[in-house]
Structure 1
Amino acid sequence: MVFNLQFFQVLSIIISMLAFCTAFWLYRWVEVQPSSNQRIAEISKLIRNGANTFLTKEYRTLSRFCLVAAAVILIFLPAPIWKGNIAANIIMAVSYLFGTVFSAIAGKIGISIATIANVKAAEASTKGIKQSFMSGFRGGAVMGMAVVSSSLLGVTLVLLLTNNTTALLGFSFGASSMALFAKAGGGIFTKTADISADLVGKVELGIPEDDPRNPAVIADNVGDNVGDVAGMGADLFDSNVASMAAALVMAVSLDGACKAAGQTANNAAMVFCYAAVGLLASMVGVMTARMKEGGDPTLALNTNTYVTTGLYGVLTAAATWAFGFSWRIWGASVIGLLVGVIIGLASDYFTDDKRPPVRAVAKACESGPAFTILSGISYGLMSTLPSMVGIGVSALAAYKLCYPMGGGSVEYAMFGISMAAVGMLSIVGMIISNDAYGPIVDNARGLVEMGDLGDKALEITDSLDSAGNTVKAVTKGFAIGAAGLTVIALLGAFMSEVNAAIDELNAVSAGAIMDKIAGFDVINPNVFFGLLIGAAIPALFSAMLMLGVDRNAQRMVSEIHRQFKEIPGLKEGKKGAVPEYDKCIEIATDGAIKELVPAGLMTIIATLLVGVVGGVQSIGGFITGNIVSGLLFALFMSNSGGLWDNTKKYIEAGNHGGKNSPAHKAGVVGDTVGDPFKDTAGPSINTQITVVSLVASLTATIFLTFNLFG
């Protein structure tokens, strides 16, 4: 039997369908877990309705943007429609819309299961930690399986139906643009509510985190779902699609070159095989995940990741041997996966409350919030080095390992980097499961407190929530590292698209009018111009998102003050005094919708302007500067934010004076600063870098033929 590309595409579809079946089984398992507390059911309904209302408004706004973007793509990409190839433009526009729809579905699935699993985990906490953990984890696993299976299925179908890698980039751009706005909007919503609830509740009034008297408490729980579940699902869907798209663009180009030379090649088949095996490994890892009663939830979550990692390594080695794939490419993918784990461990060191950095910042809290901020920023900056080194080493090792292929081919070496990104994201099903577990158990903790299920249940959900925060920092580090390798691969895909366009332009002229691009020289003023602008974009993007949180949170704090002042007996907790929760949800929703578009639109417009001014050389510099600066900002923000969050929780556990002590109030201030760092700007930068790279690749032909100084 010949194992050609179509065989592996069919295999990918089959494994995607199996993963969907696994997701459905897990959904039903969570759904049938017992829940009978009327108070929790009422609160959960408020959370679910708030999350669905926000998602509906957000998707309505984004659908208008996406339709306009699709119309622009139809007219101009991959080449202006008046040049005659109308079918290619239609395929590109449809692929883009296909990507946006798949990304939106990923977010909707996450919201649907998370707002069920939080209730099940909350009520299970009255019986023990094991059942509560399994409800939270399997709830997250529904999203993990659904997101990764839909990304693999989407990529496979687009390439199978169109046989066009440029259409694949259009699909990826659709996923990325939707993810960019969904992550930004969800991040602004969740941190608006979180900051407002903490500042008024904890700092001003000294009431518990999820006290039902606080008007912002339901909005805070809604935010966990729309930001950390729907937003992160769209983000990792985008990363997975982008890594596969970048690898396939180069793989198809390499396969075509080999075929022209009369040689056989299976690079594209290898991409599908490794991605399918990664999903299979994640399915096995999710279904075999367990935790003993009285066990450590952090250890259980990390063990699941390590088991899945080992399984992926073994299965891909077996596939490489069985199908005659390149062992060098296998080595590159394993390097990517191992470095992903190392980056996760580095994030864990700087954010786990059992490690020195968190405890040092907790000690600094005794001296006031200024020292909390100063020490947290310092450790956050320090945390970037191991991850940046890891990304750099993995890219260098993959490049050097694969360079001898094809007689010292730069394209093969860049393909090796793209496969390191595929390897790093190979177990993304497990990563998403761990990541979505965090907000589910965070919500469960709130439901336990608001439902008054007792101190034992609160202690269990506190333990689960702490594990969720620690593992979430690990998964964010993993996602940022994967984004780093993915966009390096996308830089290679950009070069492939530019060179293909140069071949086409040269073919229609009497002689070669342009030389192919082999790299970008920073001494070239066009490249340096793009480099500087690209490096500045993540800073501006982050500032715009955090200012959005700032403006929105100030409005919500004023609303909370109004309610405590005007609703009789609310502050004292008298019977019958009920906050107007919907007012805070409305403020968070309207503010997030208003603030989410400008930052994302700015990055796209900046990319186009740089290309028009300096051509493809400037765009190469722009992407490079954006990658380096963006990774640095993303790592710093995610790690420092996670560190401040766990510092606050460490103090709340009874250390350095415990709750309501001066150290605790300083810790809350640090967490307030860290919230938009780790949940709004930081994780959104990943997607911003991807969007920039995809826009550049899609518009490469335009920048070649139309620029001012290129």
Structure 2
Amino acid sequence: MNSYVYLVPVMGLIGLLYTLWKFAWVSKQEAGTDRMKEIANYIAEGAMAFLRAEWKILTYFGIIVAILLGYMGSRNAESHWFIAVAFLIGAFFSALAGYIGMRAATKANVRTAHAARTSLSKALNVSFTGGAVMGMGVAGLAVLGLGGLFIVLIKWFAPDALSTGHEVTRAIEVLTGFSLGAESIALFARVGGGIYTKAADVGADLVGKVEAGIPEDDPRNPATIADNVGDNVGDVAGMGADLFGSYVATVLATIVLGHEVTDNAGTALNDTFNGYSPILLPMLIAGVGIIFSIIGTFFVRISDNAGISTSVVQKALNMGNWGSIILSAIASFFLVSFLLPDGDMYLRGFAFTKMNVFGSIAVGLVVGTLMSIITEYYTAMGKRPVNSIVRQSGTGHATNVIGGLAVGMESTFLPILVLAGGIYGSYAFAGLYGVAIAAAGMMSTTAMQLAIDAFGPIADNAGGIAEMSELPKEVREKTDTLDAVGNTTAATGKGFAIASAALTALALFAAYVGVINANGFKMDGINIYNANVLASLFVGGMIPFIFSSLAIRAVGEAAMAMVEEVRRQFRDIPGIMEGKGKPEYDKCVAISTEASIKKMMLPGAIAIISPLIIGFLLGPEALGGFLAGATVCGVLMGMFQNNAGGAWDNAKKSFEKGVDINGQKYFKGSDPHKASVTGDTVGDPFKDTSGPSMNILIKLMSIVSLVIAPTLASVFKEKNNSETGAAKWKTEQSIKVTASKSVTANTIHLR
């Protein structure tokens, strides 16, 4: 290994220093009137109350899993008890990533609302900077944690070993615990936060907007505080933990496969890094991605005299995004040229060169860009898909829902073709390592992607605070413009995440097969003619559906409780509709908190336990079939739900500016608008609860499989050996019997 590896945690630290700098800047901005500060304080307290309740449950979960991992690691020569410590570090960093995002968002929301009293450009600056705090914080923690822990483990287990050494294999196996901890917390945070936010949102919309006919975020609605809290715990804290886990899993998958890369003699590469160059490459790409994402944030600007237009804001965000992607692509070329050796490299018989590796990275960046463009088309206001839902709202609630479902289903067509092309292209360049490094290239600008994604919930909160503080209408117009763009960027971010998850899951699956084979159980591929494999393939395909069902049902049941509570308060609190009675916001916050904590456990348990059951019951090959089924169905379900929900949401927002249906103009409060609210309500759990959880689900199950692979191989190797021994004995007996019959027959013939 070389001293260049120390650059990885250093670049992570740079990201965290930027986070602190921008967090301090956001905190110094003016927070507005006393009423604005009071509402913002309610939101911040509610968000922290949820996180404390969630962390309490997850602490017990983390301790139990760590004990089991430590026991398993100590009993297996290919692992180590320290995998439990790596798991806890990953879990802590994942929770911390979510906390950083939530703190930044609850500071930036009220300051964005105040900035919108002056200009759209200032409001964008504050909201995007709040998002950038989260983006750089998440990426910085991921790179610092993974890079730092990798250095510690290599120095401990294999201080002078070549990259192909057995002790390096052991160190990387322990490192998988870090990713398992990150993804486990991410799943619970995303599902729990999603249940919270959508229960409040659906309850607030159904009673407030549909039944009572009052505006969104009206202070008379008791569920408004819970709704705004939900934006932070679901779309910010949950999303931060989500992308932290995704980032780590992508880099880890490439590290595991990079460890298998050799020269043509099957030995470590002849580079200046003891053969570690394919392992260092994804970590350094992630590190430079942080640097260029920081540079990209300075491109996100609009002039003070810019009109109030979603296209102006979208263009500014695209400038930052494109800038960071182009700079990262250029940097990747030089990293590949510098790190990787000349000549052919091999992974499982597939030969490739360093320029082939750069080709795979370029494919990953192109796939990520195309996924974002396609998703933006299907979810943005003014485009054909959203306009089709708007038109179908003119004939009622049912046709709106039908239109949204159709758009969501249609939206899987082009992304899947792009994804399939990306898998084929990256593999054609550099084999399985190419698929993994393509995902790493795609995720290199995660910090910028997350900054763009997180600014949306901040703008949404700012609009809520403006409404509840009764600020002038032009303030809400500016925040709604930012929020509408935020809906599109959130959808594109989810499309980007599910594409990277598919590539990462494929790389993790390849790594799983490698670990199984390295531990003595021969598995060249997955044979679907095997009954165990075929059965497991179908079971795996079912998991995303039952997971989505549980998540959506949880939202529905919690929303029912929220609706009843809001109705009760409207009915029982004197003067509430006249603005004289004070709503009991805390009771709605308590409903969402309790429901999310209780109902996040079963979906999370399914993701962790199902691979264990399939693996230890049916064997390594059957588990491979299970992962294949879950990955394909999970990717499709994720795309469908994310895009349908995003399109429904922006169809509803189209009415706020006025839309033309068959020559007649319709606005907010009209019957078609009410139909669009129904569609948006149906789409809420799609796009913010079950949909974005799909990418964590498929990666978490792959990582669980990777962690148990050495133990699984050991168990079934002994079983396989005993079965092979029995088969060998039967064969020998058969040969003896055949030989005996042959001798007897020949004797008779001679006579």
Name the TM tier (shorter chain).
over 0.9
Quick check: 1:368 aligned with 2:396?
yes
Match of 1:580 among 578, 581, 584: 584
Counterpart CA distance in 2 for 1:357 and 1:438 is: 21
Specify the alignment match of 1:137 in structure 2. 128
RMSD: 1.6
Change (3 A) 1:287 1:15: farther
Q: CA deviation at 1:61?
A: 0.6
Letter of the 1:609 partner, please give it: I
Question: What pairs with 1:170-189 in structure 2 (closer than 5 Å)?
Answer: 170-189=177-196
Quick check: 1:477 aligned with 2:495?
yes
Specify the alignment match of 2:332 in structure 1. 316
Specify the alignment match of 2:283 in structure 1. 272
Counterpart CA distance in 2 for 1:66 and 1:17 is: 26
Gap regions ≥5 residues in structure 2: 155-170, 342-353, 660-664, 724-751
Match of 1:699 among 708, 729, 732: 708
Match of 1:301 among 300, 312, 317: 317
Match of 1:599 among 582, 599, 603: 603
Specify the alignment match of 1:561 in structure 2. 567
Range with greater deviation from structure 2 (434-443 or 5-14): 5-14
Letter of the 1:658 partner, please give it: F
Quick check: 1:541 aligned with 2:553?
no
Quick check: 1:387 aligned with 2:415?
yes
Letter of the 1:677 partner, please give it: F
Instruction: Report if aligned partners of 1:158, 1:167 keep a CA contact under 8 Å in 2.
Output: no
Quick check: 1:427 aligned with 2:445?
yes
Letter of the 1:200 partner, please give it: V
Change (3 A) 1:206 1:317: same
Counterpart CA distance in 2 for 1:19 and 1:182 is: 23
Q: CA deviation at 1:273?
A: 2.1
Counterpart CA distance in 1 for 2:300 and 2:475 is: 22
Quick check: 1:608 aligned with 2:598?
no
Instruction: Report if aligned partners of 1:50, 1:585 keep a CA contact under 8 Å in 2.
Output: yes
Q: CA deviation at 1:262?
A: 7.1
Counterpart CA distance in 2 for 1:263 and 1:570 is: 76
Instruction: Report if aligned partners of 1:298, 1:470 keep a CA contact under 8 Å in 2.
Output: no
Query: CA-to-partner distance for each residue in 1:10-45, whole Å, 9 max, x for gaps?
Result: 111211111111111111111111223110000000
Q: CA deviation at 1:530?
A: 1.6
Query: CA-to-partner distance for each residue in 1:235-262, whole Å, 9 max, x for gaps?
Result: 1000000000000011122259977367
Quick check: 1:683 aligned with 2:699?
no
Quick check: 1:206 aligned with 2:235?
no
| TM-score, with structure 1 as normaliser | 0.93
Q: CA deviation at 1:304?
A: 1.2
Q: CA deviation at 1:339?
A: 0.6
Match of 2:367 among 313, 319, 339: 339
Question: What pairs with 1:1-12 in structure 2 (closer than 5 Å)?
Answer: 5-12=1-8
Specify the alignment match of 1:232 in structure 2. 239
SS of 1:392's partner is helix
Specify the alignment match of 2:634 in structure 1. 630
Quick check: 1:156 aligned with 2:147?
yes
Q: CA deviation at 1:83?
A: 5.8
Letter of the 1:149 partner, please give it: G
Change (3 A) 1:463 1:82: closer
Q: CA deviation at 1:359?
A: 0.8
Counterpart CA distance in 1 for 2:77 and 2:268 is: 31
Letter of the 2:695 partner, please give it: N
Query: CA-to-partner distance for each residue in 1:470-508, whole Å, 9 max, x for gaps?
Result: 111111111111111111111111112112211xxxxxx
Counterpart CA distance in 2 for 1:64 and 1:323 is: 43
Query: CA-to-partner distance for each residue in 1:181-233, whole Å, 9 max, x for gaps?
Result: 00000000000000000000010011000100000000000000000000000
Instruction: Report if aligned partners of 1:73, 1:89 keep a CA contact under 8 Å in 2.
Output: no
Query: CA-to-partner distance for each residue in 1:624-656, whole Å, 9 max, x for gaps?
Result: 111100000000000000000000000122225
Instruction: Report if aligned partners of 1:50, 1:222 keep a CA contact under 8 Å in 2.
Output: yes
Instruction: Report if aligned partners of 1:98, 1:171 keep a CA contact under 8 Å in 2.
Output: yes
Match of 1:62 among 58, 65, 73: 58
Match of 2:18 among 22, 31, 34: 22
Letter of the 1:388 partner, please give it: I
Specify the alignment match of 2:594 in structure 1. 590
Quick check: 1:668 aligned with 2:677?
yes
Q: CA deviation at 1:678?
A: 0.3
Specify the alignment match of 1:405 in structure 2. none
Change (3 A) 1:257 1:555: farther
Specify the alignment match of 2:666 in structure 1. 657
Percent identity of equivalent pairs: 39
Letter of the 1:639 partner, please give it: N
Counterpart CA distance in 2 for 1:676 and 1:323 is: 45
Counterpart CA distance in 2 for 1:262 and 1:148 is: 29
Counterpart CA distance in 2 for 1:55 and 1:191 is: 16
Specify the alignment match of 1:406 in structure 2. none
Specify the alignment match of 1:507 in structure 2. none
Higher-Rg structure is 2
Counterpart CA distance in 2 for 1:474 and 1:304 is: 15
SS of 2:628's partner is helix
Quick check: 1:528 aligned with 2:519?
no
Q: CA deviation at 1:324?
A: 4.7
| TM-score, with structure 2 as normaliser | 0.88
Change (3 A) 1:262 1:173: closer
Quick check: 1:165 aligned with 2:172?
yes
Gap regions ≥5 residues in structure 1: 403-412, 503-513
SS of 2:82's partner is helix
Instruction: Report if aligned partners of 2:80, 2:174 keep a CA contact under 8 Å in 1.
Output: no
Counterpart CA distance in 2 for 1:318 and 1:610 is: 43
Query: CA-to-partner distance for each residue in 1:268-302, whole Å, 9 max, x for gaps?
Result: 12222212121111111123422223161111112
Range with greater deviation from structure 2 (319-328 or 658-667): 319-328
Quick check: 1:147 aligned with 2:138?
yes
Instruction: Report if aligned partners of 1:255, 1:267 keep a CA contact under 8 Å in 2.
Output: no
Letter of the 1:702 partner, please give it: T
Question: What pairs with 1:91-130 in structure 2 (closer than 5 Å)?
Answer: 91-130=82-121
Specify the alignment match of 2:350 in structure 1. none
